[in-house]
Structure 1
Amino acid sequence: MVERCGWAGDDPIYQAYHDTEWGVPEYDSRALWEKLILDGFQAGLSWITILKKRDNFRAAFAGFDPNIVATWGEDEVQRLLQDKGIIRHRGKIEATITNARAWQRIEQQQGFDKFLWGYVGGKPLVNHFATQADVPTQTPLSVQVSKDLKKEGFKYCGPTIVYAFMEATGLVNDHIVTCHRHGK
């Protein structure tokens, strides 16, 4: 039997996500933005809800191309509020458009990838937690990243969302030490 982090449970969708995506270092600016947006949509919901709707989100948000989304306005907000395939939350939809514009500014100045990876010196911070209960929901670093993202104009990026994002994109390796993915 394969040892996994406890949150992966028995759901094949969660297990596949855990085994192939979660914690894998992501260095692509666009992909990092997509994941941050999805983590924002997840606020108040379970991650499995987002995973099951991820393809719908990608279709609804133009493949998560921030350069396209940044041009959107009220017409697109109204369209998305009618899309049953995604989370229809006006604040989160509007924040996605705002965040696309903020992403463009950071991308142009230094690269969104470099902005984020600069917080960890360009390589994942590797933790050594024995159990899932040991893993924090936020850290002083996620508080700082959240603060800096908000300063840049981002929304729906509080410290807990940012920490989940950092774990998912491999900025932080929080696979528990007994998990088959910890050392990878």
Structure 2
Amino acid sequence: MQASNSELITPNSLIRCSWAGSDPLYQKYHDEEWGKPVYDDKILFEFLILEGAQAGLSWITILRRRENYRKAFANFEVKKVAAFDDQDVERLMNDAGIIRNKLKVNSAIINAKLFIEIQKEFGSFSNYMWHFMPGKEPLQNKIVSMSDVPARTEISDAISKDMKKRGFKFFGTTICYAFMQATGMVNDHLLDCCAR
């Protein structure tokens, strides 16, 4: 009996967005998380911390340290991170498992406090983020090649502007758009990508 086409395809031969490369960690993230809508505040807070840490670095650099960030930042419990003090900052600055940038470390704590304020104002951080989206729905972009993927949009401009006004750090429009991609507010998978 002849195998069907679907049986001949192995996970490594699937068509993926080119940025996923051949690194199994990157491929798993691409296939299972990137572009999938997230409404859970804990996961949104995790990506807020990770995207801020990524500023100026490659995403794989942060992805490889994700578990270290989870341990260093109280399993991404926003109230615990918001309560971090000078001793915690010192501990984080001595933690070789994360990016030891004092501005980024301090911004994570500031952003945690502001995250809680938004939760109080909007009922959840998810409500706040998704209210920027037309119909509160993810945008399904028609990406034919990776050169079609924008670095920012009018929506990311509006979100980052509002967040900056509220005092958030390390969340400019480019980081905001990466956050939107990571949390599925936009789907920028290639049209022929297996994870679309």
TM range (shorter): over 0.9
User: Structure 2: which 5+ runs fail to align?
Assistant: 1-12
Aligned to 2:129: 116
**100-109 or 116-125, larger mean C-alpha shift:** 116-125
Aligned to 2:194: 180
4+ aligned runs moved over 2 Å, structure 1: none
The counterpart of 2:87, out of the listed 75, 87, 96, is 75
Distance in structure 1 (CA, Å) of the matches to 2:87 and 2:26: 34
The counterpart of 2:51, out of the listed 31, 35, 39, is 39
Identical positions, percent: 49
- Give how far 1:137 is off: 0.7
The counterpart of 2:158, out of the listed 144, 148, 158, is 144
User: Structure 1: which 5+ runs fail to align?
Assistant: none
Distance in structure 2 (CA, Å) of the matches to 1:40 and 1:79: 19
Deviations 1:50-75 (A, max 9, x none): 11100000000001111011111211
Alignment partner of 1:128 is 2:142 = yes
Distance in structure 1 (CA, Å) of the matches to 2:112 and 2:52: 13
Count of residues in correspondence between the two structures: 182
Q: Any conservation in 1 of the 2:143–2:188 contact (CA below 8 Å)?
A: yes
Q: Any conservation in 1 of the 2:142–2:188 contact (CA below 8 Å)?
A: yes
Distance in structure 1 (CA, Å) of the matches to 2:55 and 2:161: 17
- Greater radius of gyration (CA): 2
Deviations 1:18-48 (A, max 9, x none): 0001111100112101101101101111111
Aligned to 2:3: none
SS of equivalent residue, structure 1 residue 114: helix
The counterpart of 1:153, out of the listed 167, 187, 194, is 167
Distance in structure 1 (CA, Å) of the matches to 2:81 and 2:57: 23
Distance in structure 2 (CA, Å) of the matches to 1:154 and 1:23: 23
TM-score of the two chains, using structure 1 as the length reference:
0.97
Q: Any conservation in 1 of the 2:32–2:195 contact (CA below 8 Å)?
A: no
Q: Which amino acid aligns with 1:128?
A: K
Aligned to 2:7: none
Q: Which amino acid aligns with 2:170?
A: Y
Deviations 1:75-131 (A, max 9, x none): 111110000010000000000000000001001111100000111132211100100
- Give how far 1:178 is off: 1.2
Distance in structure 2 (CA, Å) of the matches to 1:152 and 1:112: 13
TM-score of the two chains, using structure 2 as the length reference:
0.91
- Give how far 1:180 is off: 1.4
